[in-house]
Structure 1
Amino acid sequence: MGTDRAPTLKEIAERAGVHVSTASRVLRQPEPADGWSESALRVRQAAEELGYRRNVWAASLRTRKTTTLGVVMPRLTDGVVATTYQGIEEAAARAGYSVLLSSPPDDADAQRDAIDLLAGRQVDGLLLSGLHAPAKAFVESLTVSVPMVTVTRHADAGLPFVGADDHHGGYLAARHLLDRGHTDLAVICGPDHATTSTDRLAGFRSALDAAGIPLRPDRVVSSAFEVDGGIEAGRRLLDRPDRPDAVFTVSDTIAIGVLGVARDLGLQIPDDLALIGYNDIPIVAQLPVPMTTVRSPARQIGATAARRLLDVVAGRDAESTRLPVELMVRATT
């Protein structure tokens, strides 16, 4: 345009060949589920060519919305968590929303403070990831009145939930080991407060129960979701005369720690020990012994959760969704 001033709606409408009211409507609404119409695409192209930038704060005074979503997501340094967040941010951006992120410690009080902080920033909705069990009591203790959706860990508190079908993932892991003739099985769980861990263990148990194979109490140990936790738990299971012949871990990072312990003990994978992880982070397929794991669609979970929250913000019903998982069979089994 040859000037630093912002283009007017009239100028955008004239370039797009539409009425001013049409241009205004297109520029203030998120992308419809079925995509933009031809006229709407012309409006958005004209706005981009003319250098239009929406004044979000002025719009929020008119609509009482900030077009901002809040995300509470502990453990953002974890690759799976970061990938989930990427899906959230991408889906929010496509709908014309920005994201405010808080990544508190994996602690209930810290999460509650983060929720209060984001609600105070007048976000239109909140995505809650990494909730602590019993999450229902946690959610019911909140004093904020903001639309909310839970991600990866469910709350059973009437809130929509988006995550992986972790129960089925645990079942797939157990069934795979049983099909390969393993009967002395062990599980390394995550913290008891994580429903991702408890659901995966429950699914694993269900397959063993159906096969009539017991899971000894001393074959179930807990670990933090990290390599060091896997090392500690792996030593407890493997550095003993009656070690199991197969181990399922509820995360790939835990499984990597177990691999280190097996190497130090001189165990051959999979001849002496079969091992299955969970999530399918990129590195596990490139290990010297590529790891069998359950693939969880982290990015898709984040994107779906953002769309469900936008449904709630818009006053629409939003159903809970458990996305399918897939067993990736590699050399560790």
Structure 2
Amino acid sequence: MSPLKGRVTLATVAGSAGVSVATVSKVLNGRSDVSASTRARVQDVLEKHGYVGRRPEPVQHETVELFYQGVLNSYSVEVIQGVLDAGAAAGVEVVLSSRPPHPSRHSAGRAAPWVRDLIASGRRAAVGITSELSDADLAALSRARLPLVIIDPADVPQPDVTSVGSTNFAGGMSATQHLLDLGHRRIGYIGGPPTSACNQARMSGFRSAMDAVGAEVPKDYIWLSNFLYDDGLAGGSMMLDLPDRPTAIFAGCDEIAVGVMEAARARGLRIPDDLSVIGFDDTQVARHASPQLTTVKQPLREIGAVAVRTALQLAVGEPIASHHVELATTLIVRGSAAPHGLSSVAAS
């Protein structure tokens, strides 16, 4: 079926599906008096041609869709709390949903049905956490004039997609510089997906600080996977089993850092005497670790709040200061990093 040209209306969908306009309307409204085969045929046409429909009249309680992709962790919980708090302050209800990752943001495929669901549900705006959307999804949201704000985009954000994050590059530099100031030169980096924009920025900050003092970063001193505890455990195990292991590791998030600490303990290494570890985020995980984790603080709740406030500004047509907002990071010094050479084991 070739794509319909021009504006896709109920009449054009009905003609393509070989049904009446009333039948298409019933399918869109979830009516039960449509046969399964007819419903499937109409839905196929709707999906193939990216029909999203008109936004309904405002409902009594305005709602914002908050969606995430992947596994909930300590980072996302903090961001979600910020979104909920800001929504409550604005008198807006927040609907939380999970969306599976799209196979390719640059795919020329059809818009996901969930985009139509957002419009039909009368959402005022949509906020995504570390999300990746297809070009078809972005086009559908744009046609429906539904504002979208992405928190920490899963890849490098497009110029016309509004996003909120933190100063990841500066944070990566400050963490690494702290370890360098403590006398470390053999420093490893364990981070998230290679395509993740925030991971790229943190690793670039790490490399920049290392380059500034002429410190070598062997290829085995870089491990990229996901922002999860198990990735810290695996990456830490690999690095700590090297003949010339790092004396310090900068982890791309707190959960990775705690995984690294466990890998060290399993090998009889003490934190921070034998290995210094720094994380990123400053979640509850950092404060509950033993010893407490030195980490780069992101204002996660404020990031969530800024995303909601920005989305609501866009929803009413108010101008925004920037389409890409970065909130400042701060190094929080606790007990997981110490001067190099504190232990004879670390100096070996």
Q: Secondary structure at the match of 2:305?
A: helix
Equivalent position to 1:244, from 246, 253, 257? 246
Alignment correspondent of 1:148:
148
Quote the offset at 1:160 in angstroms.
Answer: 2.1
Q: Does the C-alpha gap of structure 1 residues 120 and 236 become closer, same or farther in structure 2, counting only changes over 3 Å?
A: farther
Equivalent position to 1:329, from 327, 333, 338? 333
Is the contact made by 2:257 and 2:279 (CA closer than 8 Å) also made in structure 1? Answer: yes
Equivalent position to 2:274, from 256, 272, 275? 272
Alignment correspondent of 2:175:
173
Alignment correspondent of 1:92:
87
TM-score by length of 1: 0.74
Counterpart residue identity of residue 190, structure 1: G
Q: Secondary structure at the match of 1:127?
A: strand
Quote the offset at 1:217 in angstroms.
Answer: 2.0
Is the contact made by 2:251 and 2:257 (CA closer than 8 Å) also made in structure 1? Answer: yes
Q: Does the C-alpha gap of structure 1 residues 119 and 203 become closer, same or farther in structure 2, counting only changes over 3 Å?
A: farther
Q: Deviations over 1:81-119 (max 9, x none)?
A: 1221121122122222112221224x2249974445424
1:257 aligns with 2:259: yes
Q: Secondary structure at the match of 1:144?
A: helix
Question: What CA distance in whole angstroms lies between the structure 2 residues aligned with 1:205 and 1:65?
Answer: 51
> Identity over aligned residues, as a percent?
32
Alignment correspondent of 1:72:
67
Question: What CA distance in whole angstroms lies between the structure 1 residues aligned with 2:88 and 2:270?
Answer: 47
User: 258-267 or 143-152, which moves further after superposition?
Assistant: 143-152
Q: Deviations over 1:247-266 (max 9, x none)?
A: 01101111111111100111
Alignment correspondent of 1:24:
none
Give the 4+ runs in structure 1 shifted more than 6 A: none
Matches within 5 A, 1:1-333: 67-75=62-70, 77-105=72-100, 107-109=101-103, 113=112, 114-132=114-132, 138=135, 142-145=139-142, 146-153=146-153, 155-318=157-320, 319=322, 320-333=324-337
Aligned residues: 270
Q: Does the C-alpha gap of structure 1 residues 205 and 138 become closer, same or farther in structure 2, counting only changes over 3 Å?
A: farther
TM-score by length of 2: 0.71
Is the contact made by 1:223 and 1:254 (CA closer than 8 Å) also made in structure 2? Answer: no
Quote the offset at 1:317 in angstroms.
Answer: 1.7
Quote the offset at 1:157 in angstroms.
Answer: 2.9
Question: What CA distance in whole angstroms lies between the structure 1 residues aligned with 2:250 and 2:136?
Answer: 31
Q: Does the C-alpha gap of structure 1 residues 246 and 224 become closer, same or farther in structure 2, counting only changes over 3 Å?
A: same
Q: Does the C-alpha gap of structure 1 residues 193 and 295 become closer, same or farther in structure 2, counting only changes over 3 Å?
A: same
Quote the offset at 1:63 in angstroms.
Answer: 5.0
Q: Deviations over 1:170-221 (max 9, x none)?
A: 0111110111111111100101232121111111112222222232222111
Is the contact made by 1:238 and 1:244 (CA closer than 8 Å) also made in structure 2? Answer: yes
Q: Does the C-alpha gap of structure 1 residues 167 and 316 become closer, same or farther in structure 2, counting only changes over 3 Å?
A: same
Is the contact made by 1:228 and 1:257 (CA closer than 8 Å) also made in structure 2? Answer: yes
Q: Structure 1: which 5+ runs fail to align?
A: 1-59
Question: What CA distance in whole angstroms lies between the structure 1 residues aligned with 2:234 and 2:182?
Answer: 27
Structure with more of its chain in helix, by fraction: 1
Question: What CA distance in whole angstroms lies between the structure 2 residues aligned with 1:116 and 1:191?
Answer: 30
Question: What CA distance in whole angstroms lies between the structure 1 residues aligned with 2:116 and 2:213?
Answer: 47
Counterpart residue identity of residue 126, structure 1: A
Is the contact made by 2:194 and 2:200 (CA closer than 8 Å) also made in structure 1? Answer: yes
